[in-house]
Amino acid sequence: MTGSLKVAVIGAGVAGLVAARELQRENLQVVVFEKSHQFGGTWAYDARVESDPLGIDPNRDVIHSSIYKSLKTNVPRALMSFTDFKFSEKVYGDPRMYPGHEEVLKFLTDFASHFELTKLIRFNTLVTRVEVVDSDIIDFVVESNTNGVMSVEVFNAVVVCNGHNTQPLLATDIPGIQTWSRKQMHSHNYRVPEPFRDQVVVVIGSGASAVDISREIAMVAKEVHMSSRSPLVKVGKSDKFNNMWQHSKIEYISKEGSVSFQGGFSIDADIILHCTGYVQDKFFCKPINI
């Protein structure tokens, strides 16, 4: 490769930072486009939540990060290290093997500083279009918007690192859920348990975030009922919380507020919380054949 090649990296999260570092090591010209004011991607905690708690409204102001305030990693810091930049050797105030999100962001900040990546990043810059230039040598037109100022540039290559934890996936196939009259939200917009105080909450999902959030909500809620599609989940009351239950899948939701689970158990709920993951983010790029 030649140092004259110019590469665009879209996103300054973990993948974007690593890509930028490796490309820079090859003496390529690297420009990183980051739509927010800081790097870190999903690890950059944002206390704000979206105006649409379900994330359906296409005109909502999208909040990129899905991290809640108390989140800690479910992977030990030794396994989150880079080959020549060890997380296990760094402690920024949280020495636990499974540190909180603040510790991860500090590690990424240290990584970016150590390898001088910050100078490559254009913050507050949203990429709005990527298109192949029709020529013998494949190049890419990259259109971006920095605080209202539009720019169009040509790059020899583009690395898309925009993540996939922003667009919520909802459990829309449950009978009655579309016409339920009470509050629904997705875990993407969960930050702290206080809004669930004294409420009867139904949590759809049984993954890591569903378990974490359910246990945290149970400390303030009246009742928490987790629903899982998995036949392996043990149905019954939690061993740790007197106000928390594990159920099989939801059979029906009535418009008035009741939620019925398989097996005949039914409750009157105040909030349904979807801990159901995410759909792949859509990146605006003209279809191409290479």
- Residue 223 resides in a domain: yes
- Return phi, psi of residue 119, to 5°: -65, -15
Q: What is the pLDDT of residue 286?
A: 45
- Residue 48 resides in a domain: yes
- Residue 286 resides in a domain: no
Do 101 and 54 fall into the same domain? Answer: yes
Q: Domain range for residue 260?
A: 169-274
Do 173 and 265 fall into the same domain? Answer: yes
Do 143 and 239 fall into the same domain? Answer: no
Q: Give the pair of three-digit tokens for residue 174.
A: 């449950």
Half-sphere exposure of 147 (CA within 13 A, CB side): 4
CATH code of 148's domain: 3.50.50.60
Do 151 and 19 fall into the same domain? Answer: yes
195-205 pLDDT, tens digit per residue, is: 999 999 999 99
Q: What is the pLDDT of residue 280?
A: 65
Do 26 and 137 fall into the same domain? Answer: yes
Q: What is the pLDDT of residue 289?
A: 40
pTM of the prediction? Answer: 0.89
Residue 60, helix vs strand vs coil = coil
187-238 pLDDT, tens digit per residue, is: 999 999 999 999 999 999 999 999 999 999 999 999 999 999 988 888 899 9
Do 119 and 214 fall into the same domain? Answer: no
Number of domains in the chain: 2
Q: Is the pLDDT of residue 239 over 70?
A: yes
Do 117 and 179 fall into the same domain? Answer: no
Q: How far apart are CA 99 and CA 191, in angstroms?
A: 17
Q: How far apart are CA 70 and CA 211, in angstroms?
A: 13
Do 153 and 75 fall into the same domain? Answer: yes
